[in-house]
Structure 1
């Protein structure tokens, strides 16, 4: 059976990765790009529940470059998207690392990040409390059963860090992509590839529709493992759909201002919401990234009390003036985690198929850079604007698992 229509590139998945890839291809070429999304709109998977924290402190310089170049796009969102009035805007409140580190460690990372063009500062406890009086500068591990605070640590601050609204960003990319000729179809579930065992020439939908393409890009997030398995594709990596929880609670005005905070002493991260009256709180512990999801289409999205309570205790340690009252809500979403908590980006085992998945909680901030990597790989040249120096080869499927200082979302 022949294809009913032909495109140059089909992108499967309209999350932040798929949309950035489609947009960067359209922004830098005249290719006919089609995005197929099984949900009713954009950001139906991990993107919609992302905390969308912006930071560039990573173990590997390649990851730091991808985050840096992603942040450049988000900080210049109207220019990147070409939209006169985008829905999303950058909340540049900075990102603060409170990891119980000494001066030598923080200063070394400040210098290392500076070589990559990433702004970073080393703060002592006094400097920290001068900027954010509500933050407790304790530098020892928090134990709710037996804890005595101690000052004296040093803290790394990324002044260009912050956060973004993930759903608005995806909606902006949807509109910007369509404005550049990308076709996006919702309710279009891709069942498999067409072509032979060694070469794909398109996809088939669940209703039997066949659509041809020179290249298929899989941005299938938590559905990657089941999708590859159903299509008998083995690239040597496990893509583990993993249940991840976040919660929010009220934030009185007298507690602010606050940056984004990564708190290694308490095992949490937190940031204000865009309106400033609520706080979002999540975990940076590897132990909270172990609950596998059997079916990404059907899993428990409720907040577990046994997750909630220890995180709130850690939050009140870091924000001692925060009242222990107020409505607490939360939800569970998914990361797609790999063995080394780094994404896999590159040619799959079938010619004509490229994979971008396994972002392990890093995907949102890196989305524009991933789009630039894939565009460079497809077009044979880097984008003239909003490109990236991060090499796609670093994330290739045939790489060895990477060594990282932390096998959690921190990487």
Structure 2
């Protein structure tokens, strides 16, 4: 006979485990997480782990603010170090983006996010040798920084299991099970076994469209290849805030070994990939472009060299914002399409999914669950920034 659980979560990465933990916190421990490899073995470990609240979508900013609060007290809440380092976060813009920056800062303050407008001299005090000639305005979040997505996801999984959740690794889901009326009632595993459930949560990131297609749900997700560099400046990078450069369209943060992690904020010409077969390092063209941007920003690096590079994939939606909510098919709940935002909002994602499954409504008045509905694309109502930045609207 098939096994049964009230909730089956497909995907044992960061979001799936955050959801499992949040459900268990609500007292719902009849939950099974199914992971085809090992916990957090997919794209979770590729995350650059930036923690910021600087969004033009109020719900996302509020979710990120909840994440900051959880990460700041992680050792008490999750019982372990998750690699979060509260270095601060700075975003800098040119003159064409000053008004959106000011509007976003006002909105963030209304949400309770600690954020200040600072001048170039203050930024230089944080970042010795930085070239700010092309910048016009800066916002500073003292509680922002960066964390480790793998460590965080594993911590979610540990707490979920302590609260009674079952996590099965090396357990691949091949199809979703449907009744004659089309509703989903469980999953089929690679060995032919079935697990039945009242609700199946799809949290499989870049692999979500293929599974959803087994029940006729077309999830509008593309797999975007993202490249990152690790740069040795020639001497150890001092402890500095994460810096989001919306002039050159990149972001930089200090690695634990004092190298610089350099990421991309220009999504105007995305490159798409097969999530099971992509180049796991930066391409030559990206290296040349990214290093050129970095040298304009930090022209005084003593003896820079490329230490290494790696790559991962975003599961992007048409509006670069996640889908969180019921699918068009009864019994199937979607938590997919995080488009690069997933780490910082993961505690709030878990809470929102638990709220929507158990209560049908968000418990946080600042987070409207309806914002992330699947149907918004068909309705022609994408979720977009209230104050978009020229050149960086996709991720802001």
TM-score past 0.5 threshold: yes
Q: Is residue 2:356 matched to residue 1:377? A: yes
Cα 1:378–1:298 change in 2 (3 A) is: same
What is the rounded CA distance, in whole Å, between the counterparts of 2:100 and 2:198 in structure 1? 48
The equivalent position to 1:194 in structure 2, one of 143, 165, 177, is: 177
User: Residues 105, 223 of structure 1: CA spacing in aligned structure 2 closer, same or farther, 3 A cutoff?
Assistant: closer
Query: Residue 301 of structure 1: CA displacement?
Result: 1.4
Residues 104 and 231 (structure 1), Cα distance of their counterparts in 2 relative to 1, 3 Å cut:
closer
What root-mean-square deviation, in Å, do the aligned CA atoms of Structure 1 and Structure 2 show?
A: 2.1
Name stretches of at least 5 consecutive residues in structure 2 with no aligned partner.
Answer: none
TM-score by length of 1: 0.88
Instruction: Please give the residue correspondences for 1:179-258 in structure 2 after superposition, counting only pairs within 5 Å.
Output: 179-196=162-179, 197-234=181-218, 237-251=219-233, 255-258=237-240
1:321-400 equivalences in 2 (<5 Å): 321-380=300-359, 389-399=366-376, 400=381
Q: Which SS does the other structure have where 1:286 is aligned?
A: coil
Instruction: Please give the residue correspondences for 1:6-21 in structure 2 after superposition, counting only pairs within 5 Å.
Output: 6-21=4-19
The answer (yes or no) to whether the contact 2:325–2:374 under 8 Å persists in 1 is yes
Counterpart CA distance in 1 for 2:140 and 2:107 is: 14
Give 1:316 deviation, angstroms: 1.8
**1:65 equivalent in structure 2:** 62
Q: Is the 8 A contact 2:52 2:141 kept in 1?
A: yes
Displacement, 1:383?
9.4
Separation in 1, partners of 2:357, 2:203: 15
Which of 88, 91, 94 aligns to 1:94? It is 88
The question of whether the paired residues in 2 share the 8 Å contact of 1:243 and 1:332 is answered with yes
User: How far did 1:30 drift?
Assistant: 3.5
Distance in 2 of aligned mates of 1:330 and 1:108 = 35
Give, in angstroms, the shift of residue 205 of structure 1: 0.5
Provide the rounded CA distance (Å) in 2 between the counterparts of 1:172 and 1:254: 30
Does 2:264 correspond to 1:266? no
Matches within 5 A, 1:27-66: 27-39=25-37, 41-66=38-63
- The gaps in structure 1 that reach 5 residues or longer are 141-152
Matches of 1:105 and 1:247, distance apart in 2: 29
Shift of 1:198: 2.2
How far did 1:298 drift? 1.8
Across the two proteins, how many residue pairs are aligned to each other?
386
